[in-house]
Structure 1
Amino acid sequence: MKLLRSPKAYVWAGGLFIIAGILVFATISSTDETMASVDGDKIKKDELYDALVAVHGTDTLNKLIDDKLIKLEADKEGINITDAEIQKEMDILAETSGGEKALMQKLEASGVSIAALKKELVVHLQTKKLIEPRSTVTDDEINTYFKENQNSFAQGEQVEASHILVENEKTAKKVAKKIAKGGVFTKLAAEYSTDTGTAKKGGSLGYFSKGDMVKEFEDVAFELDIDQVSDPVKSKYGYHIIKVTGKKEAKKANFEDSKKEVKAELLSEKSKEVYSKWLAEVKEKHEITNKLEGTK
């Protein structure tokens, strides 16, 4: 997991946070009528419910209907989602959120539990398995897309590095001293690094380009020689000790090297189009009642 990667958004993630306001009702007993009070003036559960529905109700209910349809179709096609698949998506989401700790903070701030997140991931994976087989990309489309977007597939200079992330300067200096005395970087990463996703891999971040990491980190990483270890580097995540393990020079875009990535991008775009059409067709096959938008 690359803790420092610039955050990206899953397309499906918005749906998870839309329903966060409504999820509060899952923990409220039906007998809890008073939710708050100001100088004895009570705010009733129904008042809170009406306010939440007014803001989130239509989007939330439509999403829940879509999720129900997706589950029904996935069951019909014998699609199963494994724990390993869910964990893989969790790892990706943690990476795009700035690390596991950042993800947990984001979930907590939004009032979303891990269980709710995993439930959303199941829907995401079911949708992916339902839609991707219905999406096709031709060789001509791949060739055309590459020619029109060739510059975006050029590879800038890259660095392969590992890091040990700690919370404070005192610990960073302690670890740096151990490395200077011959301590094994990978073992110290496993022992001290708070980036749990990379600690178990000896701190490895793999290869990255400029712009992938926070500036303080990459400014140092791109200046180090192979096998050189940095002094502690401060960023918003804490203090890093960086070791560069490899370098790649910049190179122009190459069709054969980029073909797989081009296909993936085209497939993603087509899947969105196919999904909308597929969902509309599925809705025609089911009797759906939506009291916020009338009855079909």
Structure 2
Amino acid sequence: MNKQPKKKKGLVITSIIAAVIVVGVIVYALIGNSSNYVAKVGDEKISQDELNEAMQKQYGSTVAQSLITTSVIEQEAKKQDVTVTQKEIDAEVKTQATQYGGTEGLESALESSNMTMDDFEESVKTYIQTQKLMEPALEITDAKLKAYFKENKSSYDTAKQVKASHILVEDKKTAKKVAKLLADGSDWDKLAKKYSTDTSNASDGGNLGYFDKSSMDENFADAAFSMKKGEISDPVKSSYGYHIIKVTGIKSAKEATYADVKDEVRTAYVNEQMNANYSTWLADLEKDYDIDNTLATTSTTEE
């Protein structure tokens, strides 16, 4: 059973990370091949030099601008004595990893782009530096945060949640067998471990934790949310197979108050304002530095 993924962060961090990945891909393409050609079509070879030239024409200015941006941010952070700790980097990496289903998923995504976790942490460091440099100019006040909360209140309200365990099997016949064994007094945890095909939680009694109705298969959710705490269902068919469901907890819907979610509101508001002001902020910041982008000059000349 898969829950819905959490929403991704705003454009600032994703654009910074994407730029770092582009740099990694280009560098890999430029130095990552030791043979005298990179591709062969019949008897015709495409040389490493041809690839390098094509990559530079297509991505050169993008990579150069990414490196310039990183350098400007790093120099400005040093000038303003803005520091980033490893603890802060680790916390942000953990947050970003949730978008990929965990650390392994993130590492797999990075590997597919020829990147390492160290590369990723550098991009995260740049993002945190950017956030710390931009925040003072955003003029965040309690009044602005309260207005933002009022405008987006529904997204902070908590829907009713159910905590449940399940035993998932492939066919109705097996589901009926498991249901009968439970009715006859067999131990739930032992049956889950023996019969459940959901290997992610079978050894934990099929525990799914708390979830809201929208995050589960419709048939499964309809059944679970109609049950009382401690109740065990008859076999329920879903797109995954047949479930025996046991409800172990219920949390009523809760209307959010500003005091309860103030930290979340501040984070969301800062991200929104960073996205809205990043381009202008960066352009103004770059005016303070003597930047000579020869690739941009060459590109303009060629046009």
Q: Does TM, scored on the shorter chain, surpass 0.5?
A: yes
Q: Deviations for 1:27-85, whole angstroms, at most 9, x for unmatched residues?
A: 72686552222223121223222333344333332122111222222333140331x33
What SS does the corresponding residue of 2:46 show, helix, strand or coil?
strand
Aligned to 2:7: 8
In structure 2, do the counterparts of structure 1 residues 125 and 42 end up closer, same or farther at CA, with 3 Å as the change threshold? same
Aligned to 1:68: 71
| Contact 1:107/1:113 (<8 A) preserved | yes
Q: Which shifted more, 65-74 or 141-150? A: 141-150
Distance (whole Å) between structure 1 residues aligned to residue 98 and residue 244 of structure 2: 19
Distance (whole Å) between structure 2 residues aligned to residue 123 and residue 202 of structure 1: 43
Aligned to 1:79: 83
Distance (whole Å) between structure 2 residues aligned to residue 232 and residue 98 of structure 1: 27
Which consecutive residues of structure 2, in runs of 5 or more, have no partner in the other structure?
176-180, 299-303
| 1:267 maps onto 2:266 in alignment | no
| Residue among 41, 47, 53 paired with 2:44 | 41
In structure 2, do the counterparts of structure 1 residues 147 and 183 end up closer, same or farther at CA, with 3 Å as the change threshold? closer
Aligned to 2:294: 291
- Structure 2-normalised TM-score? 0.67
Alignment size in residue pairs: 281
Distance (whole Å) between structure 2 residues aligned to residue 66 and residue 241 of structure 1: 55
| Contact 2:82/2:129 (<8 A) preserved | no
| 1:148 maps onto 2:131 in alignment | no
| Contact 1:3/1:98 (<8 A) preserved | no
How far has the Cα of 1:155 moved from its partner? 2.7
| Contact 1:159/1:222 (<8 A) preserved | yes
Distance (whole Å) between structure 2 residues aligned to residue 69 and residue 122 of structure 1: 14
What SS does the corresponding residue of 1:88 show, helix, strand or coil?
helix
Aligned to 1:103: 106
Larger Rg: 2
Aligned to 1:139: 142
- Structure 1-normalised TM-score? 0.68
Fraction of identical pairs, as percent: 33
Aligned to 1:23: 24
How far has the Cα of 1:121 moved from its partner? 1.7
Q: Which shifted more, 225-234 or 141-150? A: 225-234
| Residue among 92, 97, 101 paired with 1:94 | 97
Aligned to 1:250: 253
| Contact 2:20/2:123 (<8 A) preserved | no
Distance (whole Å) between structure 2 residues aligned to residue 120 and residue 26 of structure 1: 17
Q: Deviations for 1:114-149, whole angstroms, at most 9, x for unmatched residues?
A: 332222222222222332344332233234334434
User: What letter is aligned with 1:58?
Assistant: S
What SS does the corresponding residue of 2:39 show, helix, strand or coil?
strand
